[in-house]
Structure 1
Amino acid sequence: MRRSLIAAAAVALTAAGVVFAVTPSAQAATAIPAHVFAPYFEAYNGDSLNGLSQQSGDKYLTMAFIQTASRGSCTVYWNGDTGMPISNATFGSDIAAIRARGGDVIPSFGGYAADNGGTEIADSCTDVNQIAAQFEKVITTYDVTRIDLDVEDNSLTNTAGIDRRNKAIKIVEDWAAANGRTIQFVYTLPTTTSGLADSGLAVLRNAVANNARVDIVNQMTFDYYDNQPHQMANDTKSASNGLHSQLQQLYPTKSSQQLWSMIGVTEMIGVDDFGPAETFTIADANAVYTWATQQGLAELSFWALQRDNGGCPGGAASDTCSGISQSTWQFSHIFAPFTSGGGTPGSPSPTRTSASPSASPSRSPSASPSPSRSTSTPPPAGLANGNFETGSLTPWTGSLCSVVSTPVHGGTKALKAAATSSDNAQCAQTVAVQPNRTYTLSAWVQGSYAFLGATTGAGDTSTWTAGGSTWTKLTVNVSTGSSTSIKVWVHGWYGTGTIYVDDVTLV
């Protein structure tokens, strides 16, 4: 993304080319939700990561940017600043606090300044193994499950760098699989109003050639610089439709819905770098949110969290305000409900154990109980009709939900959730709970891509299974925090058909 250059001067490294020793495991991590709103956070201006996450209510943030301090180096830092190394001392406590509230972060490599200055890691470093080692260091230091790669400007024409980057991705994906880790890679690329330019497609074609799995292609739907009139929401849709067709050529075995679940969109809220002719409005945000939810996109984002305020109405593009009249965090509040679902299908998050101060013990059902959990047995929760034996859906709700007589796990009735190509068929009920308790939510499910979870004041907690024709038990721990009621839900997955649910308990 085109951003202002980092103010701090780059410091030449004498230790360039050092390969870091990487520990293979950390505490249990949870995959990023299947549909996530994760705006970019400008990590270079001294703002509090956790503070702005709390103020905005944004639980998931994409952290920009990681790059080398000088061209030719193989060591990355936050913002290329040698005073901000990849270590728990840099952002570690903030990330832990965000995770304790049910969120997470996505580190982003590159950005316009790095791509323009030769400090993007694959442009800077000519050793593929050292590039991979830097990815792995970020993954293990912060225990993350998704990496964003912002590739634009000169990085789009550096064919050697493109090839090195994709070879390194493949190494990291193989390393992750061998060490029981989940890791996803996102390519964030500039776009035209009809899809990626050939330079962006070349990055993906090279990934395919190197057997590097690309989980999400995130379009920057702004800065078109084509001197044409723009209606930004419509341009987002047309760019995405074009990308969908392009991905169909690159990945011919994937279904239409699988391709939509590979697509992300990043807007530049308010006035973008081109000027007022490219202005993303509040109305555009509402339209894009509705459309992205209907299409089942993987990711919705914007540049940048610090711009989500009306501090400079009528102004130009700025790092600190949107340039339009709006309330503070208005774009965040519009996009926030987009986050839903468990880990992305095809990328289950395995349990990993080891000591790591930056990981939250409550991020996985298999992790240790959170510190607020009482040693006594919590009072029963108010979940009703969990076995559906009443024959009625009440108090469960959901337009694509019904009670059926077959198949069942126990008794004579079960719940049917019939997902469509545009709706994941969420069936839910609101349940009275005790505050500051941890409950165990369980259910038996049958069918492909069944999700079980709960929404508290701190956000969603969930688990899922790829499933099949047999009954499978799902279990997840739910910490209530200060909430006295939570929403318990189950759902299938867009375009994967019907699931069945039975014997839901919350104890």
Structure 2
Amino acid sequence: MTTAHEGRRLSPLRVTLATLLLGGLVAAGVVSVQAWASAQVTTSEDPWFAGYVDATATPAFAFENPATEESQDVVLSFIVASSDDGCEPTWGNAYGLDEAAESLDLDRRIARLEQRGGGIAVSFGGLTNDELSTVCTDDDALLKAYRSVIERYDVTTIDLDIEGDDLADERGGERRAEAIAALQKERRDADEHLAVWLTLPAATFGLTEEGTTAVQQMLDAGVDIAGVNAMTMNFGESREKGETMAEASIRSLTQTHRQLGVLYELSGTELSDATLWRKIGATPMLGQNDVKTEVFGLDDARELNTWAVKKGLGRMSVWSLNRDVSCGPNYVDLTRVSDACSGIEQGEERFAKLLGDGFDGRAMLSAGRVTTSEPTDPSDYVDDPATSPYTIWDEESSYLKGTKVVWHRNVYEAKWWTKGELPDDPVLNEWETPWTLIGPVLAGEKPIEMPTLALGTYPEWEGMSAYEKGTRVLFEGIPYEAKWWNTGESPEAYSSDPDSSPWVPLTADEIAEIAEAGAPTP
């Protein structure tokens, strides 16, 4: 997203890492932080909130003095490569780590936040500069660079905000995954935690192909990712006309959840829906987005929060806490994104409070969670015709658009004609499958009976008769209409091969209309 600060495009980044009371500065100005999280043996499943803070933005944002309880944990961004030395970590390519301590008083401010009960996570990457793995091609130096940041700020949660050219760099992605895997192993071997969140661009159809590749690279390298944080913003053409930003965000997160399940399945790890939701994060861009027609308002925040809490999302964030305030009277063009205000009238309300409601956990308490496979009992997925509302999918049958079937205790609807394509085939993109998942078979459901019409409403089908296109008949009380001229073709064949059958049953609405009228439609 574009900001008013040097015309930069600031991306939302993730990760919230927190540490409690702590103190002490060493002579060099480096905070000596005794990681509260790494000493904590309890692992919490509670969802958490942490807003992003652009550490180098002007004017500086006083994250060390939280405006609300929800703002006590922050995700500081961005650590990127130095333009002079690709293996040197910097804050925004403007300050080295020591320089930030001196010029921004960053280490002291972090210590102050921790004194007040808050904590930080560190975000690597962003859109504007180079993420370390893109330009640091020495594997040992890259690992050292990541390690130096984590050790300096003593964090147990990191956020990898990968977008733009960094996301398109496949080899850089592989280096990143290998380095993070090695670092996470180091930490766990030393009985210390390192939670790794991936923050990725998302459209309403979910992650892009490059985004799913980034997740796959991490899983292939053996990284135990804490989750995927979707940038629910700047949807552009993927957002439907009239769709609110909250609705578009919910659609995006739902698809990201499905994609993450597929990626874990392909990696050989089976996870429950609830566990997958805990591995999903959301980061809206509050107020005016970079797309001028897209404004994430206060009502959008309330709606997204209500849905996210109900679903059990693992984290919520916002880009950014710097912007969580109305613009002043001197800021005239509200459609031009500022990095210091939201571009909408907020009054006394704060997005952090609205979005953080119900996200009562802390990042540091979830950093020790280890992903383990949750295999299900195959008997849970056996379909029983007696308790299925629709026919059970069959490989040999063909299905017309709109046909509903049951498969593995879920109801699916065909988006177009299909035959032999599994309803639950693990595809990453929804347009790759002809099926839409409607939802699970509910307890106590029975087969839906086809509505019938009284005898005499239409003639009974006769095998020796010829029927013109549009002719209607009754077959076992169910009305059918001929799609073309036929003779000797039983309407019963429709259920197994609807595409080839010359007959199509009338819809429930058509039957109800005919029954109400009391006479057949010509």
| Percent of aligned pairs sharing the same letter | 29
1:226 is aligned to 237
Q: What CA distance in whole angstroms lies between the structure 2 residues aligned with 1:133 and 1:314?
A: 44
2:272 pairs, out of 255, 264, 286, with 255
Q: 1:314 to 1:338 in 2, by over 3 A?
A: farther
* CA distance 1:344–1:250, change in 2 (3 Å): farther
Q: Which amino acid aligns with 2:249?
A: T
Alignment of 1:267-346 (within 5 A): 267-275=284-292, 277-311=293-327, 315-316=334-335, 317-328=337-348, 330-341=350-361, 343=364
**Corresponding residue to 1:41 among 53, 61, 71:** 53
Instruction: Decide whether aligned partners of structure 1 residues 339 and 47 sit closer, same or farther in structure 2, where only a CA change above 3 A counts.
Output: farther
> Hey, what does 1:96 align to over in structure 2?
111
Equivalent residue, structure 2, for 1:244: 257
Bigger drift between 244-253 and 48-57 goes to 48-57
Q: Secondary structure at the match of 1:191?
A: strand
- In structure 2, relative to structure 1, the CA distance for the partners of 1:94 and 1:80 (3 Å cut) is same
Cα shift at 1:329: 5.3
Partner residue in 2 for 1:217: 228
Q: Could you report, residue by residue, the CA deviation over 1:384-408 in whole angstroms, capped at 9, with x for unpaired residues?
A: xxxxxxxxxxxxxxxxxxxxxxxxx
Structure 1 CA distance, aligned partners of 2:298 and 2:332?
13
Task: Judge which range, 310-319 or 285-294, deviates more.
Answer: 310-319
- Equivalent-residue separation in structure 1 for 2:161 and 2:63 (angstroms): 25
**2:435: which partner in 1?**
none
CA distance in 2, matches of 1:68, 1:82: 11
**Structure 1 length as normaliser, TM-score?**
0.60
Q: Name the amino acid aligned to 1:173.
A: Q
The answer to whether the 8 Å contact 1:313/1:324 transfers is no
Residue 113 of structure 1: SS of its match in structure 2? coil
What's 2:185 paired with? Answer: 174
TM-score, normalization by structure 2: 0.58
Q: Is the 8 A contact 1:3 1:111 kept in 2?
A: no
Q: Is the 8 A contact 2:79 2:125 kept in 1?
A: yes
Which residue in the other structure is 1:235 paired with?
A: 248
Deviates more, 1:62-71 or 1:202-211: 62-71
Q: CA deviation at 1:313?
A: 8.0
Q: Which amino acid in 2 is paired with 1:97? A: R
Offset from partner CA, 1:363-403 (integer Å, 9 cap, x none): xxxxxxxxxxxxxxxxxxxxxxxxxxxxxxxxxxxxxxxxx
Distance 1:184 1:346 in 2: 5
- Structure 1 residues 171 and 39, CA gap change in structure 2 (3 angstroms): same
Pick the aligned partner of 1:55 from 58, 67, 88.
67
Equivalence for 2:26: none
Q: 1:122, CA displacement in angstroms?
A: 0.6
CA separation of 1:173 and 1:131: change in aligned 2, threshold 3 A: same
For 1:195 and 1:248, locate their aligned partners in 2 and report how far apart those are by CA, in whole Å: 12
Q: Which amino acid aligns with 1:36?
A: W
CA distance in 1 between partners of 2:4 and 2:177 (Å): 27
- Give unmatched runs, 5+ long, in structure 2: 9-29, 371-522
CA distance in 2, matches of 1:207, 1:71: 28
Say what the alpha-carbon RMSD is for the aligned residues: 2.7
Compared with structure 1, are the counterparts of its residues 186 and 132 closer, same or farther at alpha carbon in structure 2 (3 Å cutoff)? same
Supply the AA of the counterpart residue of 2:115: A
Asked if structure 2 preserves the Cα contact closer than 8 Å seen for 1:2 and 1:113, the reply is no
Please state how far the C-alpha of 1:339 moved relative to its aligned partner. Answer: 3.1
Report the Cα distance in structure 1 between the residues aligned to 2:64 and 2:112, rounded to whole angstroms. 12
Aligned-pair distance for 1:54?
2.5
Structure 2 counterpart of 1:495: none
The superposition leaves residues 440-462 of structure 1 with CA deviations (integer Å, 9 ceiling, x where unpaired) of xxxxxxxxxxxxxxxxxxxxxxx
- The letter of the residue matching 1:29 is W
Q: Distance in 1 between matches of 2:204 and 2:236?
A: 11
> Does structure 1 retain, via aligned residues, the 8 Å contact 2:194–2:367?
no
Aligned runs of 1:136-155 on 2, under 5 Å? 136-155=147-166
1:302 partner SS: coil
- Separation in 1 of the partners of 2:73 and 2:286? 17
| Equivalent runs, 1:316-395 vs 2, <5 Å | 316=335, 317-328=337-348, 330-341=350-361, 343=364, 347=368
> Is residue 2:133 matched to residue 1:113?
no
CA distance in 2, matches of 1:83, 1:173: 24
SS of 1:112's equivalent in the other structure is coil
Change (3 A) 1:172 1:45: same
Report the Cα offset of residue 48 of structure 1.
5.0
Q: How many positions carry a matched residue from both structures?
A: 329
In the TM superposition, residue 69 of structure 1 has moved relative to its aligned partner by: 2.0
Structure richer in helix, relative to its length: 2
Describe the shift of the 1:188–1:63 C-alpha distance in structure 2 as closer, same or farther (beyond 3 A): same
Query: Take 1:143 and 1:347, find their aligned partners in 2: how far apart are those partners?
Result: 15
Q: Contact between 1:49 and 1:94, CA under 8 Å: does it hold in 2?
A: no
Displacement of 1:335 in angstroms is 2.3
Whose strand fraction is larger, Structure 1's or Structure 2's?
1
Distance 1:196 1:314 in 2: 32
- The alpha-carbon deviation at position 73 of structure 1 amounts to 1.4
- The C-alpha deviation readout for 1:238-261, integer Å capped at 9, x for no partner, is 111101111111113111111000
Q: What is the rounded CA distance, in whole Å, between the counterparts of 2:170 and 2:75 in structure 1?
A: 26
Q: Give 1:341 deviation, angstroms.
A: 3.2
Is the 2:64–2:112 Cα contact (8 Å) retained in structure 1?
Answer: no
State the shift of 1:2 in Å.
Answer: 5.1
Counting only pairs closer than 5 Å after superposition, residues 354-503 of structure 1 correspond to structure 2 as none
1:147-172 Cα offsets, whole Å, 9 max, x none, are 11111111121011100000011011
